[in-house]
Structure 1
Amino acid sequence: MDSSQQQPLLPDDFIQLCRLVTAKRPKAVIDHILQYGFVTTEELKQRYGYNHPPRAARDVREHGIPLETFRVTGSDGRRIAAYRFGDISKARFSRLSGRTGLSKQLKDELIDKYGCKCFIYLEKVDKRELQIDHRVPFEVDGEPELEAESFMLLCGSANRAKSWSCEHCENWKTIKDKSICLSCYWAYPESYTHVAMQQVRRIDLMWQGDNIESYEKLKQQTVRLNKEIPEFIKDIIEREIRQNNDS
Structure 2
Amino acid sequence: MGLSAAELRLQVEEQMERGRASKRAREVARIILERGACTTTDLEELGYKHPPRAVKDLKDAGIEIRTITESYVDPSTGNTKRRAKYSVVGVDASKESRRQFSKAVSDAVKASGKCEVCGALPPLQVDHRVPFDIGGETFPHVLDELMPLCPSCNRSKSWACEHCENWTLKDTDMCRACMWASPHQYDHVAGRQQREIRITLTDPRDVLRFDCLRPDATNIVIEYLRENE
State the TM-score bracket (shorter-chain normalisation).
Answer: 0.7 to 0.9
Q: Distance in 2 between matches of 1:80 and 1:6?
A: 25
CA deviation vs aligned residue, 1:142-183 (integer Å, no higher than 9, x gap): 2333111111111111111111111111211x2111111111
Given that residues 29 and 57 in structure 1 are in contact (C-alpha distance below 8 angstroms), is that contact kept between their aligned partners in structure 2? yes
Match of 1:215 among 199, 207, 216: 207
Counterpart code for 2:51 = P
Counterpart code for 1:81 = A
Counterpart code for 1:44 = L
Counterpart code for 2:212 = Q
Identity of aligned residues (%): 32
Extract unaligned runs of 5+ from structure 1: 97-101, 223-227
**For 2:166, what is the secondary structure of its paired residue?**
helix
Match of 1:142 among 136, 144, 150: 136
Given that residues 45 and 53 in structure 1 are in contact (C-alpha distance below 8 angstroms), is that contact kept between their aligned partners in structure 2? yes
Query: What is the CA distance between 1:78 and its match in structure 2?
Result: 5.5
Given that residues 131 and 156 in structure 1 are in contact (C-alpha distance below 8 angstroms), is that contact kept between their aligned partners in structure 2? yes
- Partner of 2:85 in structure 1? 82
Q: Distance in 2 between matches of 1:164 and 1:111?
A: 22
Q: Distance in 2 between matches of 1:184 and 1:80?
A: 30
2:59 is aligned with 1:68: no
- Partner of 1:99 in structure 2? none
**For 2:102, what is the secondary structure of its paired residue?**
helix
2:151 is aligned with 1:156: yes
2:104 is aligned with 1:116: no
What TM-score, normalized by structure 1, do the two folds share?
A: 0.73
What TM-score, normalized by structure 2, do the two folds share?
A: 0.78
Instruction: Within 5 Å, give how 1:1-247 maps onto structure 2.
Output: 8-11=8-11, 12-17=13-18, 21-22=22-23, 24=24, 26-50=25-49, 52-62=50-60, 64-76=61-73, 80-85=83-88, 87-96=91-100, 102-112=101-111, 115-123=112-120, 125-126=121-122, 129-145=123-139, 146-172=141-167, 174-208=168-202, 211-222=203-214, 228=215, 231-236=216-221, 238-239=223-224, 242=227
CA deviation vs aligned residue, 1:35-73 (integer Å, no higher than 9, x gap): 3344322222233251x33233334445x3444342153
**For 2:188, what is the secondary structure of its paired residue?**
coil
Extract unaligned runs of 5+ from structure 2: 74-79
- Partner of 2:77 in structure 1? none
CA deviation vs aligned residue, 1:101-140 (integer Å, no higher than 9, x gap): x52121122234xx122111134x23xx211111111111
Q: Distance in 2 between matches of 1:19 and 1:32?
A: 18
Given that residues 70 and 82 in structure 1 are in contact (C-alpha distance below 8 angstroms), is that contact kept between their aligned partners in structure 2? yes
Query: What is the CA distance between 1:193 and its match in structure 2?
Result: 0.5
Counterpart code for 1:189 = P
Identify, as 1 or 2, the structure richer in helix: 1
Q: 1:89 to 1:238 in 2, by over 3 A?
A: same
Q: Distance in 1 between matches of 2:146 and 2:64?
A: 22
Q: 1:49 to 1:131 in 2, by over 3 A?
A: same
Identify, as 1 or 2, the structure richer in strand: 2
